[in-house]
Amino acid sequence: MEYVTLNNGVQMPKLGLGVFRMDDAEVRKTVPVALEEGYRLIDTASRYYNEKAVGAALAESGVPRADLFVTTKLWFKDYGYAKTKEAFQVSLDNLGLDYLDLYLMHQPFNDYYGAWRAMEELLDEGRVRAIGLSNFYADRFLDLVTHNRVIPAVNQRETHPLNQQVDTLALLQRHGTVLQAWGPLAQGNQEVLTSSALANIAAAHGKSVAQVILRWLVQRDVTMVVKSTRVARLRENIDIFDFHLSEGEMSIIGGFDRHQPLAGFTHQDPRMIELLLTLA
């Protein structure tokens, strides 16, 4: 595993396991296997409703706490100074931990100023090692950075060959924030995974197309969380640190960019806000 140094000196694995849409049984089965294969970053969220299962799997794994990097996320309905402190404690208790490695605001809505002030205090108190964002676009990101004390360590965004976040990456890098990809394999999009151009690159390195895509992200200085419940795929996804793509190969993958999310609308679209408001 390779690590990136966050803007406060904390070391974070470049690749981790995401547990979005895993039920408790899948979490209890998958997390131990991932840890055996070398994963150390586990990414969950309060609205994944599986924090307790993640915590139980980590506790039973025998992996020292200091070797783990645990991320969870604050749901936007829990934003605000006081509510954030309460929600943080609930997540910490669910996970059975004394501290978090990374705490993210999950969506760019509601009172994210109050939430961020609470998160800054949690950081100062050592209850979390780093704080950051998820799904914050350039305008909201700059608004937060400009008017607050702590620069986000991480911003999670949908990032893959069809939505490469070139401008986002440049902006975050100027401010010392790491881009972390969710959906790095384009959520199984067959245009990417069955591409003959990517298959040729993969064959040249003795790797799979998925491994080439993940390696492409690493070489762009993008970290990632990848979801899988299959042992072979877990093993394959982490086996990306022993080869290097050429500039030409990187350029070929760069040509896939559509500059838009797969869903067809963004967190700046009112339809997204209306959709999220229907969730618990």
> pLDDT by residue (tens digit) across 245-271?
999 999 999 999 998 888 776 778 888
Which of these ranges, 37-41, 46-50, 274-278, has the smallest mean pLDDT? 274-278
Predicted pLDDT at 231: 97
Q: Set out the domains of the chain in order of their start, with CATH numbers.
A: 3-277 (3.20.20.100)
The pTM assigned to this predicted structure is: 0.95
Mean pLDDT for 116-124 is 98
At residue 280 the predicted structure's pLDDT band, cuts being 50, 70 and 90, is: low
Q: Which residues are catalytic?
A: 48
Give the torsion through C-alpha atoms of 74, 141, 102, 216, to 10 deg. Answer: 120
DSSP 8-70: TS-EEESEEEE-TT--HHHHHHHHHHHHHTT--EEE--GGGT-HHHHHHHHHHH---GGG-EE
Predicted pLDDT at 158: 97
| Tens digits of residue pLDDT in 178-217 | 999 999 999 888 889 999 999 999 999 999 999 999 999 9
